[in-house]
Chain A
Amino acid sequence: MVSKEEVKQTAEMCKLKLSQEETDIFIAMFSNVLEQVEKLNTVDTDGVEALNFLNLKEKSLREDIVEDSLNREEVLKNAPEQEYGYFKLLRVMD
């Protein structure tokens, strides 16, 4: 079970805002999920390694050789706002 307060704090952390109704739906669904997930505790994982990588290989590193960057037009093409070749944010208070 998660509390409304926890959901609110979590949403803040990932820069989202849920309405009251959305919060209720989330809590209902997520509590259900957590109940299911709890069953994982019945699995004996003593001495078992975590699986983060499916593929391992000897050579995955890149040599330190310069290649072309994008041109600036392409870099800025999708910018909601830009000026003087920079991405721009309107006056924001930090």
Chain B
Amino acid sequence: MDIVKLTAIEMREKLKNKEISSKEIVNAHFDRIEEIEGDLNSFITLTKEEALRAADRVDNKIKNGENLGILAGIPVGVKDNIITKDIRTTCGSKILENFIPPYEATVIEKIKNADGIILGKTNMDEFAASYSTETSYFGVTKNPIDRDRVPGGSSGGSTAAIKAGEVALALGSDTGGSNRQPASYCGVVGIKPTYGLVSRYGLISLANSLDQIGTFGRNVADAALMLEAIVGQDAKDPTSMDIEKVDYLGRLKEGIEGMKIALPKEYMSMDIDNRVKEQIMKSVKLLEKLGGEVEEVSLPHSEHAWSTYYLIVVSEISSNMARFDGIRYGYRTKDYETLDELYINSRTEGFGEEIKRSIIAGTYILSSKKGKEYYNKALKVRTLIKEDFDKVFEEYDIVLAPTTPNLPFKIGDSVKNPFEMYNSGIFNIPANLAGLCAISLPCGYVDGLPVGLQIMGDRFKELNILKAAYAFEEELSIGGER
């Protein structure tokens, strides 16, 4: 039995049945990590000791016949922009290279309470502000499917680790596709929950009004399991909402007979790689075959999503990055005589190029008259984009789209053509702007590279997208390695 190839749910069952111990599971994964990590670089920090201690606790619980949490014994990777108490949290940045938080993110508390085992902190684009995991201060992560290619980003470390069997489940964060795009590129399942379903307390903000912690698994059920473990209103995050808990796993298999499925015509007429488009059209057929009723709809403001997103995201980035000044924590320059030099040199040396560009762009937007006008316009267009979706969801249960318009690109290509990379999030951004839930799951392979299907759902209607994704995955049976 190759433990690392099991799904998370299988691992848990075998653990409960005492076929394997938690310690064995952890060790098997660290063996895998040792074997592959040198080349893959999915992790920034590994926490083997803590993981083994946690495994002991789980094994003891089993021995004593105590109740087990829903993540019992399952190895989890955590994106390094989620705060872990006493464990270095870097955001993929030199500026936080040595930052050891004195507190715990709510989702981490939940994972620990559910008996999940955290193996380490995964690599990411610096501050989650890009789409390739190449901008990490801690080096590039490779795509396990084709190691010349990027895993996508910004949660590329998490998706690569899952695909490569270094962990069974992982957390990411999604501001403009950072969960879904790398899930698509690595051929795994990634969920971006509705804004407010999962507490953001302890998620280092990129753009507060767009960020949401999301989950990964090698199949839909696993990703749903991870989600089930972390949902819930949190007193520490006022933007988290009190939503009645849904038994995702129990209801996954309900099927999609009669489900109303929308296909936005604007999306399909955008600039999409034909090979990707073909896979998506095949997927549409498959969903119809499963009983879904697919119809074309219109999201009239789609073409403005990118500009709207850009203006909001850089503005929020410039504000969020202002606290990194080298005074209370984080990187401080050696080279300063004045206060201004302390600020400028610490920040200039501590931040990478890409995030610096975003900060300056956002500062320009918020400080100039013209920029502020654009920004205020974008906030209004955001309302229109959300209303487009509200209207569609009055009649439809889910909305289909490609996860990305392209296939995973080669490492280094994004530097040559940054706009193509930004473009890879074009179908992801709308769900963040409107605060919707969405899932990406593998729907086929082109030249050995995975294509992701994106299913979007109305706010807090995760069950719809999960049911559709599950039915689709069952029929296609390429999703999980089982």
Contact = CB atoms under 8 A, between A and B. Distances in A.
**Contact present between A and B (CB < 8 A):** yes
Interface of A: 2, 6-7, 10-11, 13-18, 22, 25-26, 29-30, 32-33, 36-37, 39-41, 43, 45, 48-55, 57, 60, 70, 74-75, 77-81, 87, 89-94
Contacts of B380: 43, 45, 48-51
A14 B344 CA distance: 8
Nearest to B242: A57
A78 B330 CA distance: 7
B326 interface: yes
B307 A92 contact: no
Contacts, number: 158
Contacts of A26: 357, 360-361
Interface of B: 98-100, 102-103, 195-196, 209, 238-239, 241-242, 301, 303-304, 306-308, 310-311, 318, 321-322, 325-332, 336-340, 342-345, 347-348, 351, 353, 356-357, 359-361, 363-364, 367-368, 374, 376-384, 386, 418-419, 434-435, 459
B377 A41 contact: yes
A43 B381 CA distance: 7
Contacts of A50: 376, 379-380, 382-383
5 contacts: A11-B360, A16-B347, A37-B378, A70-B102, A87-B327
Given A7-B360, A54-B209, A78-B98, 17 more contacts: A7-B364, A10-B360, A10-B368, A13-B367, A16-B348, A26-B360, A33-B310, A39-B307, A40-B304, A40-B307, A40-B381, A41-B377, A48-B380, A55-B241, A78-B328, A89-B342, A90-B336
B456 to A, nearest CB: 15
A2 B368 CA distance: 11
B356 to A, nearest CB: 6
A10 B356 CA distance: 12
Contacts of A55: 195-196, 239, 241, 435
A10 to B, nearest CB: 5
A57 B196 CA distance: 11
A57 B340 CA distance: 41
A40 B377 contact: yes
Contact of B241 (A40, A49, A57): A57
Q: Which of A22, A25, A50, A70 has the most CB of B within 10 A?
A: A50
